[in-house]
Amino acid sequence: MTVKVRNLRVTFPLPQGAVEAVKGVSLDLGREKVGIVGESGSGKSLTARSILKLLPKQARMTADELTFDGIDVLKAGETAMRRIRGHRAGLIMQDPKYSLNPVMSAGGQIAEAWRAHRGGSRKEAMEAAIDLLAQVQIRDPMRVANSYPHELSGGMGQRVMIAMMLAPGPELLIADEPTSALDATVQAEIMRLIEDLVSRRGMGLVLISHDLPLVSHFCDRVLVMYAGRIVEELRASEFGKAQHPYTRGLLECLPSLTHPTDRLKGMRRDPSWLAG
């Protein structure tokens, strides 16, 4: 499985004129863990969602090339995209509260995702669902399978969401701020779980986050986005050697537990960064 993106642009037509949110992004993904880091409005989410053609209705997307394992996403119709989405690539979003169906039990939702892609009887699907819940390290999968989303904590909900995305056995997992609504402890557990599942199943992972330390901790390669462009690409182990002033700014403005300072460094934004 490879994803190839060349010169991707996403624009929003507004009454005041079109606004370009992604300005010519190129990237390649394989079965690896890639992080996309940036502030809100940097276009990181739109870039990742373009791969699945899951953009807001009014967005216009163009690219010189955009392929998912050789399939031309730009030309693919809804049917072709549905075969990719969920089936070959899963998307985990920030808040499980809004992504889970509130009137269906957790197990039922996972079972449904499983059946939609693999067929089989209701009973088989439910057994698979419970097995998946066990795989996402839920201690009492039977009980959780019978619970409804509002009965689950944030971390538990996110585990259910992950189990649901794993059901069809995807090759790529896109995680869009999967833990930013969660506590540090739960955040770490969920990230370790995702990391573990990705390496055990040999999936590709795209982790989108504003949290640079988190991304560098769990990914092999990190793309730093600023105002719709990738300004720097780094191996996660090489953050000390970051070249771009924006990347360095992102690191320096973080308060540190071990190296206290009286004042945090502010980000001085250079207009030349916008030129790309």
The Cα 27–Cα 181 span in angstroms is 28
Tell me the window of 45-53, 59-67, 80-88, 206-214 that interacts with other proteins (CB under 8 A): 206-214
- Kindly determine how many residues on this chain lie close enough to bind other proteins according to the rule CB under 8 A: 34
Q: Which of residues 134, 148, 186, 201 is near other proteins by CB under 8 A?
A: 186
Q: Alpha carbon 225 to chain centroid distance?
A: 14
Residue number, 114 or 239, with CB nearest to other proteins: 239
SS3 25: strand
Q: Does 264 participate in binding other proteins (rule CB under 8 A)?
A: yes
We find the least distance from the C-beta atom of residue 183 to other proteins, in angstroms, to be 4
Q: Which among 66, 71, 63, 57 is positioned nearest to 10, based on CA atoms? A: 63
Print the SS3 string covering 162-173. Answer: HHHHHCCCCCEE
> Exposure of 2 by Cβ count < 10 A (0-12 exposed, 13-18 middle, 19+ buried)?
middle
Q: Which of residues 258, 271, 272, 275 is near other proteins by CB under 8 A?
A: 258
Q: Which of residues 195, 213, 244, 245 is near other proteins by CB under 8 A?
A: 213
Q: Does 260 participate in binding other proteins (rule CB under 8 A)?
A: yes
Tokens of 95: 């808040």
Site pattern 233..252 for other proteins (x: CB under 8 A): ------xx--------xxx-
The Cα 107–Cα 111 span in angstroms is 6
Q: Does 57 participate in binding other proteins (rule CB under 8 A)?
A: no
We find the least distance from the C-beta atom of residue 29 to other proteins, in angstroms, to be 22
Q: Does 217 participate in binding other proteins (rule CB under 8 A)?
A: yes
Single-letter amino acid, residue 120: G
We find the least distance from the C-beta atom of residue 12 to other proteins, in angstroms, to be 16
Q: Does 254 participate in binding other proteins (rule CB under 8 A)?
A: yes
Give the CA dihedral 221, 136, 104, 165, nearest 10 degrees. 30
DSSP 8-class letter at 41: T
We find the least distance from the C-beta atom of residue 69 to other proteins, in angstroms, to be 31
Tokens of 206: 């795209």
Q: Does 173 participate in binding other proteins (rule CB under 8 A)?
A: no
DSSP 8-class letter at 55: -
Tell me the window of 5-13, 95-103, 198-206, 209-217 that interacts with other proteins (CB under 8 A): 209-217
Residue number, 71 or 186, with CB nearest to other proteins: 186
Q: Which of residues 77, 102, 119, 255 is near other proteins by CB under 8 A?
A: 255
The Cα 187–Cα 177 span in angstroms is 10
Q: Which among 125, 135, 130, 129 is positioned nearest to 200, based on CA atoms? A: 135
Q: Does 14 participate in binding other proteins (rule CB under 8 A)?
A: no
Single-letter amino acid, residue 3: V
Footprint on this chain of other proteins (rule: CB under 8 A) = 39-40, 154, 183-188, 210-214, 216-217, 239-240, 249-251, 253-258, 260, 262-267
